Amino acid sequence: MDDLLTAQQAADLLHLHVKRVQGLARAGKLPALRHGRKWLFPRARLLEALEGAAAEPADRAGAPTPARRGAGVDISARNQLQGLVTRVRADGVMAEVHIRIGDQELVSIITRDSAERLGLHPGLGVLAVIKSTEVMIARPVGV
């Protein structure tokens, strides 16, 4: 029999919140077994699903294609910009990530742990997701 993982162990493996893993299991989107009130996840089948998702196509920049974007999680944010990591500077617990999007550069400050978990490095195609309730507008002085 497969090595079975608890919902928390599966969440750790998938880098998702445990409630998200349980919801995906309920929806039939993750291989899982129900034992009483607990979800159990066959490790080998989860790893197969992860490998299958990693084998999906990416665009020329290495960024996920639209079909790949939702492979791990669904996200409500609509402002999603594809770009290339140009620089990662980690210092202490934070990391500064520079992303080239067209002829613009976006700088994001994230935790060092997140940068390492995502394997961020120059040349990597990524998706910048912008979620905000405020938009500021500026114009050049004297124009």
Fold classification of 66-130 (topology level): OB fold (Dihydrolipoamide Acetyltransferase, E2P) (2.40.50)
Q: Which of 37, 41, 34 is nearest to 16 (CA)?
A: 41
- Categorize the per-residue pLDDT at 70 as very low, low, confident or very high, splitting at 50, 70 and 90: very low
88 near 120, Cβ under 8 Å? yes
Task: List the chain domain ranges.
Answer: 4-54, 66-130
Cα angle 36, 37, 42 (rounded to 5 degrees) comes to: 75
Summarised one tens digit per residue, pLDDT across range 34-66 is 988 899 999 888 888 776 655 544 444 444 444
Summarised one tens digit per residue, pLDDT across range 75-115 is 667 777 888 999 999 999 999 999 999 899 999 999 999 89
pTM of the model: 0.47
